[in-house]
Structures are given as structure tokens and as C-alpha cells.
Structure 1
Amino acid sequence: MPATFALVAAWFALTPSLLPRAGAVQALVSAVAAILGYGLGAFLGWLLHDPRIGERTRRIAWKVFAVVGVIGSIILLFVSRRWQQDQRAEVGMPSASIWDIPITVVLGLVLFALLLMLCRAVRKFGRFLSRQISRLLPPRVSIAVGSIATVWIVVVLVNAVVVGQIGGTLDKLFLAINDEFSTDVAAPEESELSAGPGSLVTWESLGRQGRVFIANAPTDDAISEFTGEDAVQPIRVYVGSEGSSDLQAQANTAVEELVRTGAFNRAVINVATGTGRGWVNENSARALEYMWGGNTATVSIQYSYLPSWVSFLVDGARAQDAGRSLFEAVYAYWLTLPEDSRPKLVVSGESLGSFGGEAAFSGAQDIASRTSGVLWVGPTANNTLWNTFTTHRDSGSLASLPVFEGGQTVRFSESGDTWDGDGTWEEPRVGYLQHANDPITWLDFATVYQRPDFLSETRGTGVPDHMFWMPVITMLQIGGDLVAPGVPDGQGHEFGQSPARAWAQILPSEGWTDSDTNRLVAQLAILQDSDL
């Protein structure tokens, strides 16, 4: 029974999910699914054990299992390959290599064997522990105590090895990456940029992503060449963490930098919450800078030097604290300005940055009363406000592209061009850019035991018709989708120049046209290829 459950679980894991999977990723997903199926089968076998089943019957069952298993696996592997090829064609990815099949089989078997040996070693240790305890306690009690003790010891060891050793190594690695940057890129010479003349922060303190963000700032000449009119140097303010845990102090320094650079005299201030490493989407920041002739200021602070997924696991609340601290600090100073001379105050963020940026607000009305517009790109499944807007969407609208309260304030879009809603989109406008096949948006723990709405309703763009929900396995598949290689713009978690199209709808400058948007998208694509 355990082998049968393991094989069936591995078969289910071969079915399509949100994005095409490489052979190695498929091997890992199938191996984990198989070991979970094996465990379930072992438990049911123990529960339903029938001593009347003879050895001859068992031998026949194994032969049938072997024949059905081999034939079924061959069929499923090639059907799965066809599904994967069709899905790749649909999302614009190149065909997979035929070598993905042997990679999936061989690596999957190796990983399953390793996981099985590990599980059996833990079980063997648990039985040994129970036997020792049975010398002092009754058998049933000793089994219970031994099981609990085994689980506790395993957890302690995992924490010591994974969190202590591996986590410490990763921490040092990412800290080194955070400090790394091309030595031939000098600090900026413009006072409008952090780490420039008169700045309150140093070039070294910005961290890698902060230095990239500042170094990639467009010049007034470049913007003027695009618009055909006089432009000003856009302001970019960035405060690195330098290992500090005081987010409020960073936010206060950021406001002082904004004041120093004259940011509150600009037309637009963009409060951007970065991802775990401090990355800020250039296509979103530049869109406003070019659209408004450089008469903008973008501000962000670094709250971690770890990748988003590690940062979220280690301390997801820190992203929220950063988003809240920075906006509140900027907003507090903004309120002190004469009402008729305040710049437009907007908020932006992508992925974990959207998760953190939402934390400054309690709901749609709060956003509308304190900002001039918001753009959140690729929200995570844990975004608080996004979950509220999606859960309470209007009847008949889809989870993959919801309509909330008729789209009066909050709207959703796949491309940034069209935003579903009833009537006029009132200002200020709050926009979410999201894709129906983005695993970041749909990786929710509830998928383990509950069919997600996006699979219960009409499928969104890019979600395969052959994808269906299976307890536990669907979440494993979506987890594997996180590392899908080569995903093109417009699919998954890749948004390309869509933020430019979105800002053109949310906060266009006076006289801005669709033709201007198309030119800007083309310009951003060129700049993206030359970014540091």
C-alpha cells in the first residue's frame, strides 16, 4: 500500500500547474509528493492491516504493481511532457529538452530514496527511544512519549542545522553580496541623489541594491530628449540598512534627505517599498520620472539584504514595518506643508514590496484619503489588503482579476492597459498589477486543504485547463513554479514595462497620451537592457 500511494502521488505531481517546470524541479516536486504519499499509505496500511492476506497474494499484488507502475509511469511521463510543451508554447517559452524526462525519473528516484532513508532513520530512532522508555513506563505510554520526544529532537536538530548552520552561512553570503558592487561605478555627482554632494548618507552605506538604484537614475538631459521639453534631474533618495534594525531612524533620515534635495517642491513624491534585498523596480520609478519630466522624487529604505523569500520566512513583519514607517514619516512632513503647495503623494511596491507598502493603510478609504495614487505589482498571497479586496470582490468577478466595489477606487489589471470596473475610475486611483499564473500571488498555505478560487472559477490567462486541485500536491506544484526558469515578461512574476502602462492610467501628467505611453514603454525596454 505505501508504494502504491507513493506512485500515485508522483503521478499526480506530473500534472500541469501555473508555469512550466524544468526536469530537476519536477523531480523534486514528484519526490516530495511521493514520500508524503508513502507516509499516508504506510499509515493506512497499519490502520487497516489484515493478517489473513497470504504471502502468495502479496507476491501477485507486487507483480501487478510493477507492471501497472512501469506502464503507467511511461504513459504519464510522455503525457506530462506534452502538457509542458503546450504550456511553454502558450506562455512564450522555448520547448523543453527531451532530457527532462530522464532527469525527472533518475533524480526523482534518487531524491525519493534519500527522503525515504531519512524517514526510516527517524522512525528507527523513535522505536529505539520508545523501547528505552518502556523500561520505566507502560508500553502505550512509552510509544506516545517516545514519538513526542522524537519529534522534538528532530525539530531541535533541524533548527540547529538549517537555521543555525545553513542559515548562518546564507546570512554571511547575502551580506557579502549586499556589500558588493562594481568598483568602477563612482558615487553620484548630482546633489539630487542620495550619496551625492551634501548627502546625509554615504555611497558605501546604501547596500548593493541601493547603489544600483541610485546609479541607474536617469539624467535631466535623457528625459528632455525623450519628452522634447525642458526637464529637471529626478530626485532619488535611498537609505541603506548597514546592519541596523532601527527602521524608524532610517525613515527619519530618508525624510531629511527629501528635505535636503528639495523633494517636497516637486510635483510627485513616490514612496516605494523595496523587496527583501532592497530592490526597487526601475520600470515603475522611471515611468513616473519620464512621465512627469523629472519633476519627481522617489524614496525607499532597505530593511533587509536577504532575498524576498528568505526575508519573508525569517521576519516577514519587517517588510510591513518598513513600509509603514517610511510612509508615515513622509506623510507626517507632507502634512506640515501648505495644502495648496503639497506634491502628489503616491505609493508603490512590487512583490514583497507590495506586502510591506500595504501595511501603512487600513483600507481603500484610508488610501484614498492620504495618497494621490497607488501601484502595487505582483502582490503576494499574504498581502492583507489584497486579500480583503479579493475576498470581498463583487459577485461574478474572478479571483484572478477581481472587481471590488465596482472599481470605484481599487482596480486590478493584467497588463496595465485595461482595468475592469463600473463607470469612472475615481481619483485617487489604487491599482494592482497581477497575473493569473503568478505563483507568488497564489502560493497560499490554505491550498493544502482547500481548493483555491482561481481553480474553481473560469481560468485566468495562462492557467492551464488541465490543472486541477489536489490536497497538498497543488501547493507543492505552485512552490515549484516559484523557480520556473526563463519566464517571459507578461507571465508569472515577470511584469516588464507593464508598470509604465499602469502609471499612465493611475497618475498621468497633463496632456499625456496613449502614444506617449507606447513611446515610454519602448524607451524603458531599451534602458532595461543597459541597467547595471
Structure 2
Amino acid sequence: MFAASFTPSLVPRAWWAQGLVSASCAIAGYLLGNLVRWIWNFLELPWWRGHLARALWLVGTVVCIALVMLALWQAAAWQDSIRLRMGMESESRFFAPMACLLAVVLFVILLMLGRLFAFVLRWVDLRTRRFLPRRVALLLSIALTLALFWSIGNGVFFRLWLKAADSSYRQYDELVDEHTLLAALPERTRGYLTATQWKDIGRRGRDFLATGPTAAQIADFYGADAKAPIRVYVGLRSAETARARAALALDQLKQAHAFNRAALIVMTPTGSGWIDPGAVDSVEYLMRGDVASVTVQYSYLSSPLSLLTEPEYGAETSRELFRAIYGYWHELPHDRRPRLYLHGLSLGAMNSERSTEWLTLLGDPFDGAMWSGPPFPSELWQWFTAHRNPGSPAWLPTYGDGTLVRFVGQEPLRGESAAGHARIAYLQYATDAIAFYSHRYFLHRPDWLDAPRGPEVSPAMRWFPLVTGIQLVFDMPAAINSPEGHGHAYAPASYVDAWAVLLDRHDDSPETIARLKRRLTQAAGDHAL
């Protein structure tokens, strides 16, 4: 398992991440071997003895050492099989030695913790045997020891770490950037947001409102008149409850005359309250600025932490916001209301998916949804993927004739597939472990490894029981930090394709779309700098 841990998975790993993966795989293999040995002894089965047993042990040792040496020799090349596909530099020749050294150190630490667990287990077992039968005492001792270690890990270390993270994210969210304060208020929020409300929406909200294309920039791109896009953002400190924040968002939309626009997009942010600029900038250009976007913050923690600590709160906030906006939009005359769309990235996609009761919308449905990087627990995404057309790959399925749902990946859409007829668009990359992880892959081979594979999935990737599952667990946080256009970092050009299948913009020529992609890609690079 230690040797197999060096094989490639969905995203490239830094040497320290490889050390974590290898240590985890090695300790899992060690525990598995000890479990088999314990069961063998528990069943009182005989062990082989003598020269044959020693010979088998020697052969096994030599084979394992040879496998480890081969894995270390190939480790950098295996990583390069992913890195080069993502436009990254080749891995350093010191990758394998540094990862191996770290893995050994971590393995020893984990082994000592395991020995401590075994010591406590034996101590409890010896005392419970005085009053209970031997096997009953053993089962009780295991349960008590697990409860003790879990309570210490969860109640002390995890809570301290969570408290520190909570304080850090809160302080970041409260930071005020004077530049965005001066830049945003005059144009984007005039008429519906006061200076006090501006400070209450948090840093993520200020960034969302202060950036993006202006009417002049959109008009310059198309050589025609354009409108200034409307953006509304309600932060955690803007009101006390999710329902009150949703009501405030609706009120600000009314004040900004957002319901007079051609399209209104209800956006669900990630756990920290972030909206991907590529997602909103691209649709504002495609709609010539005749669009309004609204979002409500439900947390300031990162998406993984938010999912761990408050998994239902994001869905509750999304439901309250959709209920408030849909209720008002539903009462408007059909010929005098905007087209209504939903959007979310990552955890925001899953919460946006949960914001509606689909059966209640049959009489007057909203116009569509664009969800990017849906995490693996997303139930609707799972259903469409599981019921995809036969022969279509799991990493980019087709469903029916494409009029209900369409999946968009890294390759640009062309011809009929680029036409705007779908009601739901999923944007996903084949190397996004947050979308393609599953607990099943610890024991079952992923179907996205079948041919044809995604364009960036390494041909050297193989499935190994337990190992691949551990690799994918560590791939999820690594996918967020992938180069743009790979993993869980979605590129503006991909957002253009995803929105195009919903918006039905037939007046945009392929040359205009290509030019828009170049402009958004350049803008994203300038913003990163």
C-alpha cells in the first residue's frame, strides 16, 4: 500500500501531500495486516512454522522492498503524467526522497498513537475481565477505548482547531478594503445600499460588488450600447436570521429595479461567501449587462469546514432566498418579468440544488440552473449521472436529448451542443476530486476510469483497494488549488460555454465567443496578479 500510494491520482501532489498520503496508506496497510493476524489468533488457527515459513517471509520482504524502490524511482514521472497535462512544470528529483522521509516520520507517530491505543485497550480489558466473560469484556473494552480516543480527538483537538479557524475566518471577513469601499459605492450600489450596510456585508461581499465589468467595458467589447449589471449581496451581519437576510435581499433587488432586467440570477456562494468572478462576469457580458445577480452569505468558513460544522445552514439560507425571490417573481406578469436562473459553485451548487421543491414548480418553473463543480453528495447530480445515456462517460455524461440537462467540461462546445436549449447545465472537470470522490472507491473501481478517460486523467492511474480512496480524500483539498481550468478551479472560458447552453444567445458568433473567452481569461490573470 505504501508503494501504491505513489501512483498518480486525479490531481498532482506536493511532496508534503504525498508524504501524508503515503503515511496514511502505510498505516492503513499495517492496521489491516494486524487485524488479519488478530482474527487468525482469535479463531485459534495454527501458524506455519519452520523453514517454509521463514522462506515465505524472506520472499515477501524482498518483494515489498523491490516494490517500494520501484515506486520511489517512478514517483516523479507519475506526478509529471498529471502536471504536464495541466501546464505545470516537471516535478523535482527530490520529490520522492522528501515525501518518503516525511511519510516515515508520520508513520512512526501514527504507530506510537496506535501503540498507546493498544495499551489503553489492554488496561481496560484486564479490569473488565474480572466481572465479565472474556469475549464480552474484549468487545466492551474496544468500545470504551474508541469512545475515549474519539472524545479526546473531537472534544479537545478538533474544537481548538475549529475555534482558531472560526476566529481567523471571521477576522478576514471583517477586513475593510478602502479601495473597494470607494470604488463600489458610487456606481454599483447607489440607491439601495448605505455606507453602513456596505461595511456589514463582509469582505467577500465587498469584493463581489466592487469588481466585474462596467457598462462602458461591455459596450466597448460589443461596440454597442450596454447596461450596468446589477449585483446585490447580503452578508451574515446584515440581518439576524436567514429569513431576514432573504427579505433584505429582495428589498434591495426591488430598490435597484432588478426585476426590470432581462435575467435575474440567484447565486449561492461557497462556504466562505465567495462567488467565482468568472461565473458572474461571463454571464454579464453574454447578457450585455442586462442582468441582475443576488446572493446571501450563510457562513464565513471555508466550504469543507462549513460542510462539517453547519451542513444544513447553507441549504436553509438558499431555500429562504429562493422562496422570497420566487414568490415575488411568480406574481409578476409573464411578459414583464426577467428570466430566472440559479447558480452555485461547489458547496454553493449543492445548496442551490437543495433550494427548491421541484414538484411545486411544475406550474410555473424558473428558467434554468448552472451548477459548477457539484460536490459528490449532490443528489440531483448523482441521479443524472447514474441515469446517463449508455456509452457516455461518467466524467462527461449525456442525458436524453440534452434539452433538460447538459454537462460541460474542458473542451469548448461546438455546433448544436453549444445552442441554448437546456434547462440545467453542469460544469465539471474530469480531474475534480470534489465532484468525483465516493466512499465506494475504497472497495470498488470508479467508472470514470473506464475508457475513454477524461483529457487530463493520467493514463498511469490505476485503482487499488483502499489506496485509491485515501488518495482521493487528499485530492479534494488539492483540487481547489489546481491551476485555473483544472481540478476544482473553473476557468472563465468554461463558464462562457456553460451559460451559453442556457441563455440561447444565437446573436453571438463563434468569433465573438472566442474573443470573450480571451478577454475574461486575461482579466482573471490580471486580477490574480
Provide the TM-score with structure 1 as the length reference. 0.91
Q: Structure 2 vs 1, CA of residues 55 and 205 (structure 1 numbering), >3 Å: closer, same or farther?
A: farther
Q: CA separation of 1:184/1:411 partners in 2, compared to 1, >3 Å: closer, same or farther? A: closer
AA aligned opposite 1:452: P
How much does 1:97 deviate?
0.7
The answer as to whether partners of 1:217 and 1:236 remain within 8 angstroms in 2 is no
Partner of 2:425 in structure 1?
431
Residues 324 and 27 of structure 1: CA distance in aligned 2, closer, same or farther (over 3 Å) = same
Report the 3-state secondary structure (helix = DSSP H, G, I; strand = E; otherwise coil) of the residue aligned with 1:403.
Answer: coil
Aligned length: 522
In the alignment, which residue of structure 1 is the partner of 2:501?
505
Deviations 1:86-129 (A, max 9, x none): 22222322101111111111000011111111011011101101
Secondary structure (helix, strand or coil) at the match of 2:300 reads coil
Amino acid at match of 2:511: S
Q: Which residue pairs with 1:449 in the alignment? A: 443
Distance 1:26 1:355, change over 3 A: same
Checking the alignment, whether the CA contact within 8 Å between 1:352 and 1:380 is kept in structure 2 is yes
CA deviation after TM superposition for structure 1 residue 490, in Å? 2.7
The Cα of 1:322 is off from its aligned counterpart by: 2.5
CA contact (8 A) 1:403 1:420 kept: no
Change (3 A) 1:53 1:395: closer
> Counterpart in 1 of 2:193?
199
- Corresponding residue of 1:5: none
Alignment-mate amino acid for residue 437 of structure 2: L
1:371 equivalent in alignment to 2:366: yes
Match of 1:16 in 2: 8
Q: Deviation at 1:190?
A: 4.8
Do the aligned residues in 2 keep the contact of 1:344 with 1:371 (CA within 8 Å)? yes
CA deviations 1:324-347 (Å, max 9, x no partner) are 222221111111212211111111
Q: Once structures 1 and 2 are overlaid, which stretch shifts more, 455-464 or 50-59?
A: 50-59
AA of the residue aligned to 1:412: F
Moved more, 476-485 or 71-80: 476-485
Q: 1:472 aligns with which of 451, 466, 485?
A: 466
Structure 1, gaps ≥5 residues long = 1-8
Displacement over 6 Å in runs of 4+: 55-59, 423-426
Matching of residue 358 in structure 1 with residue 350 in structure 2: no
- Residue pair 2:268, 2:318 contacting (<8 A) in 1 also: yes
Shift of 1:139: 2.5
CA separation in 2, counterparts of 1:419 and 1:158?
Answer: 52
Report the alpha carbon displacement of residue 301 of structure 1 after superposing the two structures with TM. 0.6
The correspondence of residues 140-289 of structure 1 with structure 2, limited to 5 A, is 140-187=135-182, 190=185, 193-194=188-189, 196-199=190-193, 202-242=197-237, 246-289=241-284
**Which of 361, 382, 388 is the aligned partner of 2:383?**
388
CA distance in 2, matches of 1:127, 1:342: 71
Partner residue in 2 for 1:37: 29
Q: Distance in 2 between matches of 1:507 and 1:85?
A: 39
Contact kept? 1:408, 1:425, Cα under 8 Å = no
2:184 & 2:38 partners in 1: Cα distance? 72
- Of 125-134 and 85-94, more deviation after overlay is shown by 85-94
CA deviation profile, 1:175-218 (whole Å, cap 9, x unmatched): 11111242443255657634x45426712211121111011133
The alpha carbon displacement at 1:54 in A equals 4.8
CA-to-aligned-CA distance 1:142-178 (integer Å, 9 cap, x gap): 2221111111111111111233211111111111111
Cα distance in 2, alignment partners of residues 272 and 82 from structure 1: 41
TM-score, normalization by structure 2 = 0.91
Contact 1:377 1:432 survives alignment (8 Å):
yes
Matches of 1:480 and 1:417, distance apart in 2: 29
SS of 1:297 mapped into structure 2: strand
* Cα RMSD (Å): 2.7
Alignment correspondent of 2:76: 81
Q: Is the 8 A contact 2:227 2:289 kept in 1?
A: yes
1:6-27 superposed Cα distances (whole Å, 9 cap, x missing partner): xxx1112122211222211111
* Alpha carbons 1:22, 1:484 under 8 Å: kept: no
Worse-superposed segment, 65-74 or 522-531: 65-74
SS at match of 2:122: helix
For residues 166 and 484 of structure 1, do their structure 2 counterparts lie closer, same or farther at Cα, with a shift above 3 Å needed?
A: closer
Instruction: Provide, for residues 29-70 of structure 1, a one-character-per-residue CA deviation record: whole Å limited to 9, x for no partner.
Output: 111111111111011122335665458777666655554443
2:524 is matched with 528
Contact 1:412 1:433 in 2 (8 A): yes
1:186 aligned counterpart, secondary structure = helix
Specify the SS of the correspondent of 1:269: strand
Pick aligned residue for 1:518 from 508, 514, 520: 514
- CA distance in structure 2 between the aligned counterparts of 1:326 and 1:24, rounded to whole angstroms: 41
CA distance in 2, matches of 1:416, 1:71: 41
Larger mean CA deviation between 280-289 and 459-468 belongs to: 459-468
Structure 1 residues 334 and 191: alpha-carbon distance in aligned structure 2, compared to 1, 3 A threshold: farther
Q: Within the alignment, does 1:404 sit opposite 2:396 as a pair?
A: no
User: Which residue, 289, 292, 298 being the options, matches 1:297?
Assistant: 292
Give the unaligned 5+ runs of structure 2. none
Q: Is the 8 A contact 1:216 1:531 kept in 2?
A: no
Query: What is the alpha-carbon distance in structure 1 between the residues aligned to residue 51 and residue 238 of structure 2?
Result: 67
- Residues 381 and 387 in structure 1, CA contact (< 8 A), matched pair in contact too: yes
Q: Secondary structure at the match of 1:435?
A: coil
AA at the equivalent of 2:12:
P
Q: Percent identity?
A: 33
Contact 2:228-2:289 within 8 A present in 1 as well: yes
The reply on whether 1:325 has 2:320 as its aligned counterpart is yes
Task: State the match for 1:4 in structure 2.
Answer: none
CA-CA distance at 1:241 after TM superposition: 0.8
Q: Which amino acid aligns with 1:447?
A: Y
What SS is found at the alignment partner of 2:3? helix
Contact 2:374/2:381, CA 8 A, preserved across alignment: yes
Q: Which segment is superposed worse, 277-286 or 482-491?
A: 482-491
Which has the larger displacement, 75-84 or 355-364?
355-364
Cα distance in 2, alignment partners of residues 367 and 13 from structure 1: 49
Q: Does 1:90 align with 2:85?
A: yes
Secondary structure at the residue paired with 1:98? coil
**1:230 to partner: Cα distance:** 2.2
Amino acid at match of 1:522: R
SS in 1 for 2:201: helix
Any idea what SS the aligned residue of 1:345 has?
Answer: strand
Does the 8 Å contact 1:291/1:508 carry over to 2? no
Taking structure 1 as reference, are residues 137 and 51 closer, same or farther at Cα in structure 2, changes over 3 Å only? Answer: same
Secondary structure of residue in 2 paired with 1:294: coil
Greater displacement, 502-511 / 489-498: 502-511
Contact 2:236 2:297 in 1 (8 A): yes
